[in-house]
Amino acid sequence: MLSAVEFTVLLATIPRLSFCTHMVMLKRVAKNFIQCLSLYSMILVGFAISFYTVYRGPIGSGGAHIKTNTTETGESNPFNKFGMLSIALLKTTVMMTGEFDAAELRLHQSWGFYLVFGLFLFFVPIVLHNLMNGLAVNDAARCIKDSELIAIREKVFAISKYEDTLKSLNGILNM
């Protein structure tokens, strides 16, 4: 994987085909996505805790009972339920991408289940995704506008990196 990333960085130094601009767009959009997601991660954690509280199933004498879903082969799949907080966090993150699997949720048991799921549907896939898409479009437009300056800066950075590598190799070989 690291060699593929390094190869992509090398492609960004090619002056034609706008590789440099696209690489800078990838870096900028990824950086802003991580910043935005870290800022709004508390919303995801809050929904994960809410889903865990609402959908985890009955509590017995031995602690939380993890209800599992069985497949046609009889295998148990705890990922389809919110039985553990760690799985609830993971499943909420997966649900953020659009994989809701609402057939597995017990919405018919209470209006509170509908409320939590409805609030999640509004805030996460609709509001947060549109916010992040808007940030990505804004970043891409800014990168295209500044593409010539960005390309020159990236080329200077790459040349400097390769020059430092050659100097260190020359120093090692002269020993």
Helix, strand or coil, per DSSP, at residue 111: helix
Q: Specify whether the CB–CB gap between 109 and 2 falls below 8 A.
A: no
Per-residue pLDDT of 89-112, as tens digits, reads 988 888 888 887 776 677 677 777
What does the radius of gyration of the chain's CA atoms come to, in whole angstroms? 24
Task: List per-block mean pLDDT (blocks of 10 residues) for the chain, which spans 175 residues.
Answer: 82 68 81 90 92 74 46 58 85 84 71 85 90 87 78 81 88 75
- What is the pTM (predicted TM-score) of this model? 0.65
Q: Where are the domains of the chain?
A: 20-57+78-174
